[in-house]
Structure 1
Amino acid sequence: MRRIEHPGPADSERMTAIAGSAVPLRFVLEPGLAVDAAIAAGLTRAGCIGGFVEFRGGRCEPFRYVMPAASSDPRYVAWYSETFEPVGPVNVERACAIIGVRDGKIFLHCHGIWETSEGKRMGHMLAPLCRVAETIEVSGIGFKDATFEAMPDMETNFTLFEPVRSVGSRPLNMNAQVLLARIRPNQDISIAIEGICLQHGIERAKVYGIGSLNGVHFSDGSQLESHATEVLIHDGRLEDEDGQARARLAIDVVDMNGVIASGVINRGDNPVCVTFELVIKALGG
């Protein structure tokens, strides 16, 4: 499997997952607010400190985003492109925001696909610089006792989300039904999800998340060879396959040239580049 060497020492723990007491989220983003402020307001009203939300449509203006790019700085294996500033309103086709805390404030990490005046584009939404142009309904899962916290990461030299439980929260049963997780570089994303679920006694699940992969190999034989990508899971599941719990991930991805691809990825052939953040919800039956 492809491997990428980051400049710092590799953490011996390649996957982190914690259980959280989850509540369903559904609220609207009010026009005139920045996307991050609008989501923070909805999360606060629900009494939550972390989680994720999904966009299935919505208009923003102005809108700002970046894409993955090569790094000229040896401290990083990849970086971000210049900031793209589409003219006029942008329609968000679908996106996922992982919600956590950075410097004591609610912070968003959001990947998605959007329609701009120049056509369909994909990347990393700069939520503080994007303004809600009309009421947008979002849904997701919130956590009252756990969140993702932005922390310096020695291996990659980035500041990255790490799942944490809130101070003073009661420990949950190992077989909790919803998990917050992070996968580190060079781990196959599907096998890592299976390992986390096995550890927590989950046999069937819905999987939500965003991150980066070192190239992408799809089940139909197509490939993206860019070593840095931005990825959104638009349909993630853990299902029984011949008596084994197997992850099936359909993703959207953009490479460093702006090429967008979508489809089901190969299990065992898609390693994480920098990080991957997940919310995993167990299903009954």
Structure 2
Amino acid sequence: MTPSISRDLIRHPGPKRSDRILSARGTVTTRTVTLPRGSVLMQAVAQAMDDAGCDSGVMVLDGLRIGPYRYVMPGPSHDADHAAWYSAPRDGGSGKIVFGTAIVGRRDGAWWLHCHARWTDGDATRMGHLLPDDVKLSEDAQITLHAFKGGAFEVLHDAETNFSIFHAMGGMADGNAVIAKINPHEDISSALETLIHGAGFARAKIHGIGSLIGAVFDGAPPMTSPISEVLIPPGAIWNGALHLPMECVDPDNGQYAGLLTKGRAPVCVTFEVMIVAT
């Protein structure tokens, strides 16, 4: 899928923004935080963020055991108000997250998070958007927090997509990290390269989640659905060239993974990223 073709498949209801990438520079410190057994995911994350004293962050939830929990899958829109939507909420009993990323920022002044994950539940492997107020932690967990200061993710209404989603706000003149919101139809690989070159990072690690209008991989089957939920798993780096693995799920629970081919994975609704110099 190319950005020019993607506009024929996904047409958002609002006017196209002139600024296609919203970014904020700041400083990241990485620490281990404890999310306690029996707590609700959103409450546990909010406490960890308060304790860290940061402005926003990315939590790596790999290995987290959850249950009971609720989640949604990507789905088509049934009206003209949005170009894509979600499935009805689905319930799960007991799961272990294989790959999971939570983007943490503020909504109406309170902590909020946006989380995509791939997890196992019994013999099933599932992937989707975890609902943070409906996920209970079944064991204590030691989780990596990339704590960001100097800018923030803040939920604001996005006129182009008609969603209330994270926007990167504020920022400093310098720092070892960049957070960003990448807007619809921008090729995710090209957008990341633009951000990295702009920051002047020689080497970096990349974290993020979002949605794509199809995805072509190097040496793996493509995802052809124009509606999806995706996450960047561990191993995404810049070292003079972009190495960008991606995990994807479509509305029919088709799951895809591989190294993205540059120019063949445009953003659907949004993509939220953190890039940290190494």
Aligned to 1:107: 112
Unaligned 5+ segments in structure 1 are 166-170, 241-245
8 Å CA contact 1:237–1:249 kept in 2: the answer is yes
CA deviation map 1:188-239 (0-9, x unaligned): 0001011111112123211100000001111115211111111110131112
8 Å CA contact 1:229–1:253 kept in 2: the answer is yes
Taking the aligned partners of 2:59 and 2:192, their CA distance within structure 1 comes to 20
Aligned to 1:137: 142
8 Å CA contact 2:33–2:145 kept in 1: the answer is no
Aligned to 2:164: 159
Q: RMSD of aligned C-alpha atoms?
A: 1.3
Aligned to 1:128: 133
Describe the SS at the equivalent of 1:122.
strand
Moved more, 54-63 or 225-234: 54-63
Taking the aligned partners of 2:53 and 2:122, their CA distance within structure 1 comes to 37
Q: Does 1:94 align with 2:99?
A: yes
Taking the aligned partners of 2:213 and 2:271, their CA distance within structure 1 comes to 11
Identity, in percent, stands at: 35
Match for 1:61 among 67, 77, 80? 67
Aligned to 2:236: 236
Aligned length: 271
Aligned to 2:268: 273
Aligned to 2:17: 11
TM-score (norm 2): 0.94
> 1:160 offset after TM fit, Å?
1.1
> 1:118 offset after TM fit, Å?
5.7
8 Å CA contact 2:221–2:256 kept in 1: the answer is no
Taking the aligned partners of 2:22 and 2:198, their CA distance within structure 1 comes to 11
Q: Does 1:150 align with 2:149?
A: no
Matching of residues 183-262 of structure 1 within 5 Å = 183-234=182-233, 235-240=235-240, 246-262=241-257
> 1:49 offset after TM fit, Å?
2.5
> 1:17 offset after TM fit, Å?
1.2
8 Å CA contact 1:58–1:92 kept in 2: the answer is yes
Aligned to 1:168: none
Aligned structure 1 segments of 4 or more residues deviating by more than 2 angstroms: 171-174
CA deviation map 1:56-112 (0-9, x unaligned): 2121121111010011111111000011102x3111122000001011110010000
Q: Does 1:24 align with 2:30?
A: yes
Moved more, 219-228 or 272-281: 219-228
AA aligned to 2:33 is: F
Describe the SS at the equivalent of 2:232.
strand
Taking the aligned partners of 1:154 and 1:229, their CA distance within structure 2 comes to 21
AA aligned to 1:110 is: C
8 Å CA contact 1:25–1:53 kept in 2: the answer is no
Taking the aligned partners of 1:94 and 1:200, their CA distance within structure 2 comes to 27
Describe the SS at the equivalent of 2:236.
strand
Taking the aligned partners of 1:53 and 1:65, their CA distance within structure 2 comes to 18
Taking the aligned partners of 1:148 and 1:281, their CA distance within structure 2 comes to 16
Aligned to 1:79: 85
Taking the aligned partners of 2:24 and 2:149, their CA distance within structure 1 comes to 13
AA aligned to 1:31 is: R
TM-score (norm 1): 0.92
Taking the aligned partners of 1:217 and 1:140, their CA distance within structure 2 comes to 30
Aligned to 1:243: none
Taking the aligned partners of 1:173 and 1:151, their CA distance within structure 2 comes to 23
Aligned to 2:172: 172
Moved more, 153-162 or 115-124: 115-124
Describe the SS at the equivalent of 1:129.
strand
AA aligned to 1:20 is: G
CA deviation map 1:23-42 (0-9, x unaligned): 21311110111001111111
More strand by share: 2
